[in-house]
Structure 1
Amino acid sequence: MRFAVLGPVLAWRGREALDTGSPQQRALLAALLLRGGHTATVGELVDGLWGSAPPATALNALRTYAFRLRRSFGAEGAGVLVSDSGGYAIRTGPAGPGPAGSGPAVELDLDRARALAEEGQRARRSGNPARARELVAEALAVWRGETLAGLPGPYAETQRTRLEEWRLSLTETRLE
């Protein structure tokens, strides 16, 4: 499975685009993806999606969004979105043992951009500015528009700002 947060939040199972639902449901998906496989408690998710004044139905809505996402992922995505310790997590990374690899292989565009940027930094430190510029340009090419485009909630806004600042920093690095 593949997920994207560097632009509109999207998901694919193989080549098939998946329905990620309403903006609020996509906000849940993004919040879980950005936690790097770590569990988010229900309280953290409610605060992140609705802020300090959640509706009375927030807990039920959260459960419904999780159910719909699991259904969208299908049988091949079983084990990607898990209930864990009073919260939820999306297990990202390669298939295999361990918290980040306990289900099917899951790719996130942000992880790819980070890996390219880190490789670019290594190339720069080793005295290869041309290769560093290529790698940073590849990292920037991963973006498909505004990060977390159209997502509501305080968590999405904070993460959008953080990731857009990183994008600006990468642009400045490429220009250097």
Structure 2
Amino acid sequence: MGRDNGPRVRVPEQRAPERAAVEEAGLYFSLLGPVRARRGEESLPSGSPQQRALLAALLLRGGRTATAAELIDAIWGEDPPSQALAAVRTYASRLRKTLGPLTLASDSGGYAMRIGPEALDLTVAQDRASDAEKARASGDRCRARTLLNEALGLWDGEALASVPGPYAEYQRSRLEEWRLP
């Protein structure tokens, strides 16, 4: 799986949250295909394409806080609408109602997702790929192949399918490079 050469779109990283990730019971998120959220077996509405872009941008930050300005840049790039800040706040409010108040936190003037690593398909895939590499390095090729197949099996088409914005486009390319060595 390939290497990340850094973002083409400027979305600065914030410091990781100091408190532990908070999980709402049974939440699971998919980025390796269409952006989806579910609670147990129930699919949750992820909203408009821009709202899914906000959700994806927050999930891809691994729990780090994103400011409203960073999210506006991620969703619309250099040409945001005049009401972009209000739109981000609306999307965040709708997501909070859907996901729960502990999952999408307002933090230091921005927003952050508070989920465990097993609640995101991308993190699970990365962990399986890492474990596959360790198994390969230790000579257990059968286990390595099984783990790598599990990682690749989490993909459901193009990553971040139908999510607009320059950040999603960059991440889509990055994830495809990671998927195809």
TM bucket, shorter chain: 0.7 to 0.9
Question: Counterpart in 2 of 1:173?
Answer: none
Cα deviation, 1:17-53, whole Å, max 9, x if unaligned, reads 1000001000000000000000011111000100011
**Equivalences for residues 65-144 of structure 1 within 5 A:** 65-73=91-99, 77-93=100-116, 107-144=119-156
State the distance in 1 between where 2:152 and 2:40 align: 23
Runs of 4+ in structure 1 deviating by more than 6 angstroms, as ranges, are: none
Counterpart of 2:98, as a letter, is S
Question: Counterpart in 2 of 1:152?
Answer: 164
- Give 1:78 deviation, angstroms: 2.6
Indicate the RMSD between aligned Cα atoms, in angstroms.
Answer: 1.0
Question: Counterpart in 1 of 2:4?
Answer: none
Match of residue 31, structure 1, among 57, 60, 69: 57
Question: Counterpart in 2 of 1:174?
Answer: none
TM-score by length of 1: 0.86
Match of residue 175, structure 2, among 157, 160, 163: 163
State the distance in 2 between where 1:159 and 1:85 align: 25
Question: Counterpart in 2 of 1:99?
Answer: none
Find out whether 1:10 has 2:52 as its counterpart: no
Tell me which of the two structures has the higher relative contact order, counting C-alpha pairs closer than 8 angstroms and 6 or more residues apart: 2
Aligned residues: 155
Q: Percent identity?
A: 61
Question: Counterpart in 2 of 1:56?
Answer: 82
State the distance in 2 between where 1:14 and 1:137 align: 24
Unaligned 5+ residue runs, structure 2?
Answer: 1-26
State the distance in 2 between where 1:140 and 1:49 align: 27
State the distance in 1 between where 2:87 and 2:101 align: 21
State the distance in 2 between where 1:152 and 1:63 align: 18
Counterpart of 1:9, as a letter, is V
Cα deviation, 1:61-91, whole Å, max 9, x if unaligned, reads 0000001111112xxx331001111110101
